[in-house]
Structure 1
Amino acid sequence: MAQVSISEAARLTGKSRKTLHTYISNGKLTKVTDTQGKPKIDTSELIRVFGELVIPKETVTSQCNFSQEVTPNTVTIHDAEVERLKQEVSFLKELLIEKDKRNDDLKHALLLIESKLPTTPEPVAPAPAKKPWQFWKK
């Protein structure tokens, strides 16, 4: 789930920051640190401890202005995944090149085998049979 700062968690739960720090020190609430070392709290933890989250009324507006903040951790994961996929694609291209080369080699070998096969003589039409009274003809 999403990770929020302690201040944002206090706004979502309606509790004070001091209360959240107390819950963290008592072990009732778990905090994590992001890639920059800042303490964050998972929203699933907030829901587990405090129940349903409350959206403060001052943040609800009639206009829908959405912005998305990409955390460096997510970008790193996506970059690593993209790099892994690029490596896989290059590996598969190499396999295709090897397969094509092997097919060409097999075609060449087949042509060599076919060229060395003895040619079968064409069937010779049998000579017309001589009738018994044609004994003098060759």
Structure 2
Amino acid sequence: MAKISISEAARQVGLSRSALYRSYIKTGRLSVDRDSRGAPEIDTSEIVRVFGDQFGATAKATDVHTDKIQPNTPFLQAEVARLQTLVQVYEKQLDEAKLREEWLKAKVDALQPASLSGPGVRRPWWQF
């Protein structure tokens, strides 16, 4: 989303800059980023998260950025196909891991009774 200055954010939410700093930024309710010059700026999504969309702070800013991305571009289609392939690979690996876990649990269950009651197991003198 778009990033705006602290003063502009204060104007959009109807607070003074000092009130925005004191009540929201210093307490950690509102996160602040730094631009390339080191000046503080606030992402408009943060304003919506904290204050809600009743101020309409992001309506114009997001329209500008979302118009540039077309949902049916070949790049996005290729990316979706690649991600679907990755999901299939990860699901297969997860199924294999579950089978290994079940096999190992069965082995542990089979070995446990023999190890607890076998002839080579010595109990402490105080246990009967």
Is the shorter-chain TM-score for this pair beyond 0.5, marking a shared fold? no
Q: TM-score, normalised by structure 1?
A: 0.38
More helix by share: 2
Kindly name which structure, 1 or 2, has the bigger radius of gyration based on alpha carbons: 1
Q: TM-score, normalised by structure 2?
A: 0.41
Q: Which fold has the larger relative contact order, with Cα–Cα distance below 8 Å and residues 6 or more apart in sequence? A: 2
